[in-house]
Structure 1
Amino acid sequence: MNWEEAITDYLHYLRLERGLSENSVRSYRRDVRKLAGYLAENEPGITPKSIDRKDIEAFIHHVGTDLKARSQARLISGLKGFFGYLIFEGYRKDNPMDLIEAPKLGRKLPDTLSVEEIDRLVAEIDRSAPEGERNLAILETLYGCGLRVSELLGLRLSDLFFDEGFIKVTGKGSKDRFVPIGPYNRECILRYIREVRPHQQPQAGFEDVVFLNRRGRGLSRAMIFTIIRDLAARAGLRKNVSPHTFRHSFATHLLQNGADIRAIQQMLGHESITTTEVYMHVDRTHLAEVVREHHPRKFS
């Protein structure tokens, strides 16, 4: 088995068995090909079956000077997954990554926007322009439903269950979940669908996509980033605002207002509660207030 064969098989496994998104598959492919490229230049005789810990350590040392700690940790994690797959398929008996330690990382707390800052962003939308109502609906959906940008782009007209008060969201691993949608968010989307979208003439294959560009095709990730960053600049926000900032703000504001973290976990589509718990940092004084208000032995 050579590297290209092993990588091809691994990518099939990630897509078919684990159901990972193409973005995730590309990241894993990049990790393994970086290792394979290094070996092709320095140790061309080493195969996926014969590589050992010393070879891995030499590679990590080689790339370490060019990678930040977080990128290095992600690379090591990706390679562990690759060799774990080779063991699973019976190509190897051991994982050469077992004794390779990733850099210690502090947990990066997500950026959030206040309600006032979100209002400032929304106020900068030029609703007299054809794309204004669309952009308003996009921002309100990112913030109102806590969607990832990929989930927003994948939203279909057939996913809108407004009478029931929900939208169906296809998340990571093609897993569907139903997320509540508020009346204002619903009206923003409906106004765009009724007043703007009929003039966009969807191209073949995009008839069911909610948010379209001027050519009647789905929007790109880059376009969503551009829309948000332009609005942030006009609003005078100094924060690094991205689509994910709205998702963070959605979860943070729900938690601050007393929402149950398990409910937030379900709405965000997190498999593990530990992923959601990163939002517990946002307001320690609020948590103390909850204890004072609800615990049977209240503080004096």
Structure 2
Amino acid sequence: MSKLFNNYLQSFIQYLQIEKHYSNYTIQFYHYDIEEFFKFTSEQSLKKLDDIQYFDVRLYLTTLHEKQMSRSTIARRISSLRSFFRFLARENVITVNPFSLVQQPKGAKKLPSFFYEEEMEELFAVCEGEEPLKIRNKAMLELLYATGIRVSECTGIELKHIDFDLSVLLVKGKGNKERYVPFGSFAHEAIERYIATARNFLMKSADNHTILFVNHRGSPLTPRGIRHILTKLIEEASLTRKIHPHMLRHTFATHLLNNGADLRTVQELLGHEHLSSTQVYTHVTKEHLRKTYLTHHPRA
């Protein structure tokens, strides 16, 4: 990648960080996608950004299909590069965005996977105990299930963000947008117990800080750390599932809708900017109802 291309890329990354407030995780994908495209342009001897035409973009997409990349990966690449070239056009670096006419590939819609209530009970059961890490795991699991917050949001919770009088949590979401999310009595009790006992114990050998959830050394938990903990809980509960960070968030939304919550309320609790992001859970609940009907109706 030429020095000039690299400078434009770094300017775009700063734009994503400062103006768009994207997470480091999201920015890593943008960075990787754009670098891969620059490798392609180098192979094609395209030395200037204005040299890149729609035909070159179509050729690039053909190479991605030949590598048998998934539709979702190709769609992400297109989205990243379209945003990048839109930024360059805004900065008057280029006159035409070669990705503006590219259509996103239509992929098969995957319904969010979630835990059934019985499975959640099994997960809570393996957290029972007096050991500090078990008490922490119980509090973390209760809070994730009670609020539907993202794992990245969970790692950012500070003690001052919890209002125990109102049972409300201040959450800092994507783009530094803040929202208040209520939590129930089970999470309330588990978090209070964790703070009063386990957190103090785990913090003994660590520098003082106000992050709620900590690891065995007293340092703040990372999203990767939480995923590791959840995977261990799945193994202990002997559940035949592969867990991903969003699964408890999906479970929160699905269980609310299954029990009669309205879509707008769930949207606000999840912190979704658009209702369309929340509507996917209505498909999950419909599928759940269909399977229940087929399983239990005598003439199904």
Structure 1 length-normalised TM: 0.90
Stretches of structure 1 lacking an aligned partner (at least 5 in a row): 289-300
Name the CA distance, whole Å, in 2 between partners of 1:5 and 1:264: 42
Shift of 1:114: 1.0
1:44-79 Cα deviation digits (max 9, x unpaired):
442233311122222222233142111111111111
Shift of 1:239: 2.3
% identical equivalent positions: 34
Name the CA distance, whole Å, in 2 between partners of 1:14 and 1:48: 20
1:172-218 Cα deviation digits (max 9, x unpaired):
111111101112101101100001111222744x6110001121111
TM-aligned CA distance change 1:161 to 1:217, over 3 Å = same
Name the CA distance, whole Å, in 2 between partners of 1:210 and 1:48: 47
Shift of 1:285: 8.7
Name the CA distance, whole Å, in 1 between partners of 2:191 and 2:241: 27
Counterpart selection for 2:160 from 158, 171, 178: 158
Please provide the CA RMSD for this pair: 1.9
Q: Is the 8 A contact 2:148 2:252 kept in 1?
A: yes
Equivalent position amino acid for 2:9 in 1: I
Q: How does 1:209-220 map to 2 (within 5 A)?
A: 209-220=211-222
Equivalent position amino acid for 1:196 in 2: A
Equivalent position amino acid for 1:37 in 2: K
Q: Does 1:107 align with 2:124?
A: no
Q: Does 1:48 align with 2:43?
A: no
Equivalent position amino acid for 1:5 in 2: N
Q: Does 1:174 align with 2:169?
A: no
Name the structure 2 match of 1:237. Answer: 239
Equivalent position amino acid for 1:158 in 2: K
Shift of 1:18: 1.1
1:148-173 Cα deviation digits (max 9, x unpaired):
11001111101101212210111111
Shift of 1:102: 2.6
Q: Does 1:271 align with 2:273?
A: yes
Name the CA distance, whole Å, in 2 between partners of 1:112 and 1:45: 46
Equivalent position amino acid for 1:8 in 2: Q
Q: Is the 8 A contact 1:142 1:243 kept in 2?
A: no
Name the structure 2 match of 1:81. Answer: 83
Q: Is the 8 A contact 1:155 1:210 kept in 2?
A: yes
Shift of 1:15: 1.0
TM-aligned CA distance change 1:79 to 1:168, over 3 Å = same
Shift of 1:282: 2.6
Equivalent position amino acid for 1:144 in 2: A
Shift of 1:220: 2.0
Q: Does 1:284 align with 2:286?
A: yes
SS of match in other structure, 2:132: coil
Q: Is the 8 A contact 1:6 1:48 kept in 2?
A: no
Q: Is the 8 A contact 1:146 1:247 kept in 2?
A: yes
Equivalent position amino acid for 2:272 in 1: H
Shift of 1:284: 3.2
Name the CA distance, whole Å, in 2 between partners of 1:138 and 1:88: 43
Q: How does 1:121-200 map to 2 (within 5 A)?
A: 121-125=123-127, 127-200=129-202
Q: Is the 8 A contact 2:124 2:141 kept in 1?
A: yes
89-98 vs 243-252, greater mean Cα deviation: 89-98
Equivalent position amino acid for 1:92 in 2: I
TM-aligned CA distance change 1:3 to 1:126, over 3 Å = same
Counterpart selection for 1:117 from 116, 119, 122: 119
Equivalent position amino acid for 1:162 in 2: F
Q: Is the 8 A contact 2:132 2:199 kept in 1?
A: no
Name the CA distance, whole Å, in 1 between partners of 2:287 and 2:217: 49
Q: Is the 8 A contact 1:69 1:103 kept in 2?
A: yes
* Count of paired positions: 286
Shift of 1:287: 9.0
Name the structure 2 match of 1:224. Answer: 226
Structure 2 length-normalised TM: 0.90
Name the CA distance, whole Å, in 2 between partners of 1:164 and 1:126: 26
Name the CA distance, whole Å, in 2 between partners of 1:287 and 1:115: 14
